[in-house]
């Protein structure tokens, strides 16, 4: 089955700096890669996703890149703000298969210091 590794487990940055979180996946058939943000005590929420037919996707201060050959994808947050502090989870799934199990990474605790 799919295995998703996520690094780092914790990340502390100063407000205004950039933050990068990296994930690798094992199943070359995976083709959908969402990122979820979970604030303390709250439910996870989708912030951005990317499909395997594109290499990069951007939404304001958030961008995700995908390298299918190397089987890794990354989340980039620019101009970080204190409200970006949360746990971020990457995930991978093969949307063309019959098993729709979304495999999550173990999460990255991002702390943005004002």
Exactly one of 35, 66, 105, 110 binds another protein (CB under 8 A); that residue is 105
Contact segment (CB under 8 A) with another protein among 16-24, 40-48, 53-61, 64-72 equals 40-48
Exactly one of 14, 53, 69, 99 binds another protein (CB under 8 A); that residue is 99
- Decide whether 3 or 81 has the Cβ nearer to another protein: 3
Contact (CB, 8 A) for 91 and 102 = yes
Is 50 an interacting residue with respect to another protein (CB under 8 A)?
Answer: no
Task: Measure the CA–CA gap between 95 and 36, rounded to whole angstroms.
Answer: 18
Token output for 26: 């094992």
Token output for 49: 């996703």
- Decide whether 23 or 112 has the Cβ nearer to another protein: 23
Close Cβ partners of 42 (under 8 Å, ≥ 6 residues apart): none
- Decide whether 32 or 71 has the Cβ nearer to another protein: 32
- Decide whether 35 or 77 has the Cβ nearer to another protein: 35
Close Cβ partners of 13 (under 8 Å, ≥ 6 residues apart): 19, 80, 110, 111, 112, 113
Binding footprint of another protein on the chain (CB under 8 A): 1, 32, 34, 43-46, 49, 89, 93, 95, 98-107
């Amino acid at each position: 089955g799919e295995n998703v590794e996520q690094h780092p487990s914790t990340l502390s940055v100063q407000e205004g700096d950039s933050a990068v979180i990296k994930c690798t996946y094992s199943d070359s058939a995976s083709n959908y890669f969402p990122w979820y943000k979970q604030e303390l005590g709250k439910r996870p929420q989708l912030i951005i996703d990317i499909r395997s037919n594109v290499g990069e996707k951007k939404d304001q201060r958030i961008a995700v890149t995908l390298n299918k050959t190397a089987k890794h994808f990354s989340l980039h947050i620019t101009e970080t703000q204190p409200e970006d502090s949360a746990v971020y989870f990457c995930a991978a799934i093969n949307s063309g298969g019959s098993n729709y199990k979304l495999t999550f990474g173990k999460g990255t605790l991002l702390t943005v210091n004002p």
